[in-house]
Structure 1
Amino acid sequence: MVETVKLLHQSDYPQEAITLLPKVAAHITGMFFQLHQCHDGSQTFVYVSSGCRELCEIEPEVFQADFSIIHKLILPQDLESFIESTAVAMATLKPWNWEGRIVTPSGQLKWVQGSSQVQPSTNGTILWEGLLIDITDKKQAETKLQATEARYQALLAAIPDLMFRISRDGNYLEMKRDSSNCPLLHAEILGKNLHDILPSDVATVGQKAIARTLSSGTWQTWEYQMLTPLGMRDYQARLVANGKDEVLAIVRDITEYKYAAAQLQLSAQRDRLLTETLARIRSSLNLDEILQVTVTEVRQFLRVDRVFIGLNDAHGGAKTVAESVNPKYPSILGWSEHEKNYYSEIKSLFATNRVRVVEDTAKIAVSPKLKSHYQKTQTKASLAVPIILEDELLGALIANQCSSIRHWQSMEIDLLQQLSEQLAIAIQQSLIYQKLATLNSNLERQVAERTGQLQQKMQELEELHRVKDVVLHTVAHDLRTSVMGNLMVFKHLINSRELRATNNSDPVMVPVSYSILERMLQGNERQLGMIDLLLEIHSSQQQGVALEREPVKFNTLIGDILTELQPLFSQNQATITNLITTDLPTVMVDAARLQRVMTNLFDYSLQHNPPGLNFTLKAKMTGGVIRIQIQDNGTALSKLECDRLFDLYVRDPQGPGSTSHGLKMYLCRQIIQAHGGEIGVNRSQQQGISFWFTLPLMSEQA
């Protein structure tokens, strides 16, 4: 465009083309100008395009009238560079380029970029032909980009991890180095391959991780170890695709993390070992087992070659009572004078120290006998703690490293010290147990004597029980005989009186009234019934309930029983609704015994309620049994009464007929249980009670 402006202002250029310049400039962003600079240094705008209005908010005529207006627009901080750049261009006649800020009349701050060709004319003046454009947006974008770049650089600088750009072939292209965790310089890495820097196996794994990252487009992690001037270090590399054929590797030193995790795991294992040892001591009295399991687990935990426990003996010496040892190294369970001397010296050392830590047996001053012991047992490092109970040295718990010297960690020392305390408890527990065993032996002898005496007493009690049963049976039998005799007399007297009255004979003189005789008769009948119940219950307890089972259709059996009980219902004005269906199967039962059960259940409700009671009889099959239910609408029972109704216990003597009914209920349970069923009673929320009992089906009885 500058060249176009130059052509338009040449003297031989067609005049009609010059008139096109404003039209062309109006469609171009920026301010075009043509400037003449005279010999005296004065400057005049020959031409200024209309773009100056948008750029500078000034009309072209103003610029043409006063060149200095451009100096007033330029920000003072940038004016010096403007003047200097124009002076250099005039002196060298090289193209002029400048960037700076202007402030428009409305107060807008803008960045502008100026460029111009500088050429001498034929009359000796200098012609400037150029363009000023608004680059504010560009500058703002550059500023933001620079700020963002600065933030990124600060962020990268704050990240302690190493960063590498690595090609698909494993070549290092670029790196961000942190001298604190990278032992190599840029020159030692850039341009090299993974196989040049890392161990062969590590480099092979890394090459595969790079391939997976580029093929999958997802993060890949890769952990490895490497020997550095700081020792063996653990690293984790995280790879992410950084283009088609390269990855960005972020490498972090995780040595401390791995160490902390390992320490945490060891701490958990130590706590588990202590907990299990304590539980073992509490649950076992076998000292040998406790000691052996302890040395085995401690050796496994510490990963040492030998762990053993030495205890003092009764003769003032010591002996190894438990040991776990790597088969590659000698065992010290076999005693010799040498080991006795070793323990003697260990005792003297523990007199002043609660722990003995030896990391290298070759670098400590020891007695010849202790040195000989180390050589014989191939011990290169040792850790020993005393087993002390109430300030008395009982022995020692000792760990030996035979394969190499060893730095014993504080956690390992603490473990042995805590275990030695638990072992002291176990030893004390064993001593107490030995004393108790002695006492127990004497006690067993005394118990044997007492047992003989108790057996004699039990034989005497059994004899008394036998006598009691005989007496109960005899008394009941005799009482029954007596009562039956009374009943016969009473019945004869009543019959004689009725007979004479019928034959108009002289009445028999009876010293008591007829009603009294009836009450006496009823009372004796109740007594006879109770005696029969007592005898039957006694027989069932001694010999069980004898049943005469036979197969019967269940609904037929129930119908026969209800027919037999009809007089009882009529006498008490009771009604019964029989809801038992005809499709129930055959059962194997003692029909007479079952009728007695149902009679007792109906009779209980009738005797404890006024006349007019309503019964409902139901039955259903469930779980291999038939469940029968007798529901009435009478008086409800309490929960305690329901729970105890079928038990044999002493009842309230003031309850009329309560003992007799209690015996009947107890006998009902004996009969149902003899059939293989169950019986019970439930209380209703509104009124009445519900008796129930079960009978097994024939298939269940087979």
Structure 2
Amino acid sequence: MSPIVTPQLQLQTITGAVRQLLTALPWPEPLLLALPELGTALACDRLRLWQVHQPLPSQDLWLSPYADWGRDEKAIPSPAQITPLPSFNYWFSRLRAGHSLQTWVGEFPGVEQQWLESLGIMSVLALPITVEGQLWGIFTVEYAQAMYHWPEEEILTIQTFTEPLGGVLGLRRSSCPINANEKQLQEQDEILVQLSRRKSLHQGDLHQSLQEIVATAATTLGVARTSVWLYTKDRIKIRCITLYERLEDRYSSGQELAAADYPDYFQALEQERVIAAHDAVTDSRTHEFAQGYLIPLGITAMLDAPIWAEGTMIGVVCHEHLVSQRRWTVAEQQFAASIADLVSLAIEASDRHKALAELQASEDRLKSFFQATSEAVIIHDQGRIIDINESAEDLFGYTPGEMIGQSVLMVTDPSSRELIISRIQQPSDQPLEAVGQRKNGSTFVGEIQGKSIFYQGRPARVVGIRDITQRKQAETDLRLAAQREQLLAEIALRIRRSLELQDILNTTVVEVRHCLHADRVFIAYLAPHPCRVKIVAAASHQTWETDLEQLLNQPVYLESLLDIATPSGQSAPKIQDFSLGELNADLQAIYQDHHIQSSLVIPIPQDHCGDQVVLVIQQCAVPRIWQPFELQLLEQLANQVAIALQQAALYQKLAALNANLEYQVEERTAQLRQKMTELEELNRLKDVFLHAVSHDLRTPVLGTLMVLNNLMPEKTDETDISVPVRVLQRMVQSHERQLTLIESLLDIHFDDEQTMELDLAPLNFSEFLDGILMDLDPLLAKNQAYINNEIPDDLPMVLADGSQLRRVFENLITNALKHNRPGLTLTFTARTQDQALLCTVEDDGIGILPEQLEHLFDLYYRGKQSRQRSGIGLGLYLCRQIINAHHGKIGVMSTPGAGATFWMTLPVIFEHAPREPQGDLTLDRF
């Protein structure tokens, strides 16, 4: 940023400013007149005169604004007092020596830079003001938004103003000799007046008011700490509302002290205007704070004043001095008491503003609700209308001018006026219903509910009125509909209690006549080609009984019925409501002969008997106009009758089908019994065959195997036999496979016949598996299989049949090698769990399809994805039989392409209590 160009100062400008200082006007008015003239000439943003304070040599100095001038009215206001940072000690040493200093914020590190920015300073020139050879104050020339360097000649020119200023200040002080105590009182009174005029106090901002009060009080009294404490609601504790630490310029709150721990102190507060403890540690009123509060914080003297409100002490204002003892003057004690009174005023002002705000908010809410509610609202006093809202205007049709001042009876229908008068005489908050009257004379049913309030300074009743005419009509309609629905349900229930057609029809006509109070009701089947009719059910009042067959056989009347009953695109029933003069002569004669005054014909849709079915209701005594709800009821009833007729027809068909079905079931059952007998015989023959084949094959195979074994030389490298060794080896392997297959067939047959017998003995599982792997080593080497044996040596003994268990593991290993490519990895694990040994055989081969898993242990089942299918599906079935005989379990889990894991459990023999499961492998995983 480029510096601001300051015009060349003229000597007459400085002379004019100094001349202002020497006028006889009351001080500090001359200074306030001189500063604008000087600031305009310097073209700066702000001039400030700070007074330097240092009450004691051991305390840090602080500054307070004495006078200032700013070009911008929105400039940051000067704080009541500031404490310069310790790093500015070099500045004050230079100023005390009479030297000026200038700088800008960029020349300082972060903390000092923030300190200057808080005062609104970008560039500053500081000149000392000395009075009687001592540094009295500091005069600053400031730029708020520019970096500027003052030339030496310009600084010398400004000093022509600051040097006389120090002399004028000394002259003013010496020419007005005032008693120090009176001067202190005068200054304190001025401070109190300034505090009492703060906007925060009058606006009820308690937080801001207390902060301003404690900061000013601490500065005025020169104490390190000033705080305000208030009692809690239960008066058991006092809580610090605000604490100002002058040296750190810091506010805090929240600390609590129990009143019961300091009885002498709180008793003194109740009895004394001010507690002036010159030595707080030994003073009888404050000594209780010594160990837990005074000594840890370094507090030596206390000046406390109670806060009173409405005759009750509600708290205390504390002024705390540090380092050395201090004797409080009478003026200081009076000032502390006044500060406490000012805090009390601030609290009362805050409470008052809160109450006013709540009152205003309440009135605003009432007004908003009054105008915004959709309900009509009338406020009245003993029946005389005071106010109405817009909804009341819309409801009654009157303007506010027409209603306000009138009686509420003007909007009440005569039928409800006695009720309204009674409610006015005996107010109640319970709702009531009354009939209201609009300006146009129309009426409505209203729901009224009132509440007693104070309105415009007097008691009144606020009444909400809701038009519930539609609701009442809807309730009436719903009640009638519910009655009709109940009636319809009862009729339908009675109709459906019987599945016999004739019972249904008889019940229908009886219930319809009873429900509608009709004189004559009947149901007829109509067939136009050839023209024939049939009365299937009828119910008549004894007075109006007639020959219905004769009536329906009248061609003219039958034609009229067919015209009504024949569908013509209209689903609603047709009404015959007439006067005799409107009918043709033939119909008129028929109706007179059979006493028919009104008639209603309801078609019943159906397709199982006749061409048309109609329900006819006739009124014989007097003519009748059928109501819409009666027509709706009869339509619904006709549908119910149609459904019942359909059900009856279906029931008849179902009965016939049921009889036929029973016969077919019996016949089929006999056939199934015969098939079962045949299957049992086939199964028996199969068992006999397998047993015979297995037994017959076993003998020659064993014999051949013995011959081949005898032919085999002890050393395979000998060539003194006519048969090659590899041929003999292949023959041996083939016969061994045949023998294994035959023994499996025998075992399976044996196991189906009776339970497998085991030769159980303690077995070291680790050594047992090592032996199997050693025996199968040639087969494993041939298939390039890798063995990962993770079975520990310290497993407990297993109670098992070693030879049978060997067949299980040989089966699992050979199956894994047979169904996977060379290079397979086999992993064996075992651990104890739930008093059993959990063993797994895991491979990383092609896996097993999900649909094969549940059948894998079935008899004669072979996997579809096997590369070799030389077996007949006996191995895994036999494995399951052996494990089951050991009272264990066996299973498999697999994911296609990710290998398979077979698991089994075997009983173990524990020498001691079973150990806890080891590792993270559990049976739940499988």
TM-score by length of 2: 0.39
Which structure carries more relative contact order (alpha carbon 8 Å, separation 6+)? 1
